Amino acid sequence: MKTSFLTLFAALFLASAAFAQPANVQVKKYGAEPLRFSSVEEWECVHRPVIYDFFQREVYGYMPTRQVPMSYKELCSGPALGGKAIRKQVSIRLEGMTTPILVLMYMPANADGPVPAFLGMNFKGNHQIVDDPAIIISENAPKGKELGEDPTRGAAASRWPLDMIIDAGYAVVTIYRGDVDPDFDDGFKNGIHPAFYAKGQTQPEAHEWGTIGAWAWSLSRVMDYLETDLAIDTKKVAVIGHSRLGKTSLWAGATDPRFAIVISNDSGCGGAALSMRKHGETVGVINKSFPHWFCDNYNKYSNNEEALFVDQQGLLALIAPRPLYVASATLDDWADPEGEFLSALNASPVYELYGRKGLAASKMPALHEPSQQGDVAYHIRAGKHDINSYDWSQYIKFADKYFKK
């Protein structure tokens, strides 16, 4: 059964409305400080709606509430990975888009029922996550010079250790970002945005979604499909992303409570890192280099991070009380590992309101010593800006705490 955005947000609203509004509670600028409140009631009725609206209006942009007709079609299915997995490919077609979103799934072949899953986007096409000639190549996939030094099939296999994930009992579900919206400044003429324009509209308004908002929206549409697929336990889906797609997974997790775990790998500025630190990539740099990622209102904060009503710890707090994992790498100073850690730490008091445990570490954990005792987890590993088998091994271990009880 498909679930609309209106239904999702109505559920969140009704959950908050179950409490009476606390009296004499003042909303003020939160900055980058720890988010400390007196009760779940105060958080859900007063502060959460204000913080959520800020990120919608000023950072990622409002997603559309209007629905467009959407259909699914299973394209093919068969054994894969030497027989240990079942590969399934599905198309999602939305009215107004000329090409479909291609969903690639690998599921444990020996499963005796619905399985938990990791859902995330990939950078250059489904065919790059593994050298599998049966994977359909998207019409939108990069070609020729766009691929750089990457060959076509299996180029990103190190980022998707399918054997490890399947052996652990999880499915992998992925889509190519370019099937939703291209990752360049095209004036929003291609991709999903025109399907939602009002009559005469040619680009999003300053408060409307950019590319990251569109990518996050599409992950929810994949979740809509998964709710029709009996092979997946949709109560146990972790949304995951690396780098700009880590920013995407965080926003997807904040906007859609169906994602049971949210994972951010090296997401940096506009993701998990505190922007007010101005360390590594900054708001000004990101808006200049990637003007399509965020809504136009975000330009107000270029070289003006102090004006932010709340920093990225507010984004992480929106995910509470669902489990959250933030990770960094030693050679990825551009993504500001310390800022990512501090953001997770400063969101933790909101988790504690729910009787959950926030980040257990009060100081930056040592290299390769993950802090996973709480419902907010963090690790820093050696190496460059990337997602690799070490990262995945930790995410699987964390997911096991919740999905393998």
Q: In this predicted structure, what is the pLDDT of residue 150?
A: 60
Calculate mean pLDDT across residues 274-283. Answer: 98
What distance lies between CA 21 and its chain's CA centroid? Answer: 31
Q: 176 or 23: which carries more pLDDT confidence?
A: 176
- Give the per-residue pLDDT at 16: 42
pLDDT, position 165? 98
| pLDDT, tens digit (0-9, with 9 covering 90-100), for 365-390 | 999 999 999 999 999 999 999 999 99
**Spatial separation of the C-alpha atoms in residues 192 and 179, rounded to whole Å:** 9
Place of tokens 């090409």: 99
Give the pLDDT mean for 168-181.
98
Contacting residues for 245 by C-beta, under 8 A, at least 6 apart: 120, 121, 122, 123, 177, 215
Q: What one-character-per-residue DSSP string does 83-131 give?
A: GTEEEEEEEEEETT-SSPEEEEEEEETT-SS-EEEEEEEESS-GGGSS-
Domains of the chain, start order: 70-403 (3.40.50.1820)
Judge whether 277 and 340 are in contact, CB under 8 Å: no
Q: How far apart are CA 329 and CA 349, in angstroms?
A: 25
Q: Which residues are catalytic?
A: 243, 385
Closest by Cα among 133, 69, 77, 142 to 103: 77
pLDDT at position 12, please? 42
Query: Which pTM value belongs to this model?
Result: 0.93
Would the pLDDT of 18 be above 50?
A: no
For the chain, the C-alpha Rg in angstroms (whole number) is 20
Q: Which residues, 6 or more positions from 17, have their beta carbon under 8 angstroms from its beta carbon? A: 45
* Residue 176 identity: Y
